[in-house]
Amino acid sequence: MVLSQPELLFTFDEARFGLKSWYRRRWAPTGVRAPWPTDDRYQWLWLYAAVEPASGNCFFLTLPYVNSACMNVFMKEMANAFSDREILLVMDNAPSHTSGALQWPKNIAGLHLPPYSPELNPAERLFQELREPLANEVFEDVDHLESRLTDTLRPYWETPKLITDIAGYPWLLNAVELCSHQDI
């Protein structure tokens, strides 16, 4: 599907967050090993994230898997949240993003990035920012992880400038500005 003139350009990706601990640097006195909390349980949830670099609009949803069915749920919910707007959703070429089983809502069209180019997707930078405050923690279960992840996301939807600071690549903002002044 091609939209005549999309009103919003979102970049999209998903990231896995789980109970298995991941680490960041910790301070300890010289010669003393820093204590590291550990958890090796393999239970996960996936954060689906769409961010609009120009305005800071964002849409997040946690789902249990990365597959076409979950992608359809995400797009349906996003289409409902922005039902009065036409959206261009920029994403990578993951199998769940290119599946023939996807059901594209009427107000969303997809644009795929070139293969092997995660540096072009500003949504990737958001995940780096989200992992930092969750590092070095052990969560009781996936529900507690999801609650903590939601608390970590809250500033991003309450303060859109945080999204534009992370995702507002100058070349992308220039392209959006240029396209908004031309008929595509």
Give the whole-angstrom CA distance, residue 56 versus residue 44.
27
> 131: Cβ–Cβ under 8 A, 6 or more apart, which residues?
17, 22
pLDDT for position 3: 45
Please answer whether residues 58 and 74 qualify as being in contact, where contact means their C-beta atoms are separated by less than 8 angstroms: no
To 10 degrees, the CA torsion angle through 151, 161, 76, 103? -120
**Is the model's pTM score more than 0.75?**
yes
Give the whole-angstrom CA distance, residue 71 versus residue 38.
31
Give, for 171, the enclosing helix (H) or strand (E): helix 170-180
pLDDT for position 181: 63
Q: What are phi and psi of 87, to 5 degrees?
A: -125, 135
117-150 residue pLDDT tens = 888 888 888 998 898 888 777 888 889 999 999 9
pLDDT, tens digit only, all 184 positions of the chain:
444 556 888 889 999 888 765 555 656 678 776 666 656 667 889 999 999 988 899 999 999 999 999 999 999 999 999 999 999 999 999 888 889 899 999 999 999 998 888 888 888 889 988 988 887 778 888 899 999 999 999 999 899 999 999 888 888 788 777 766 665 4
Closest CA to 77 of 56, 62, 95: 62
pLDDT for position 21: 58
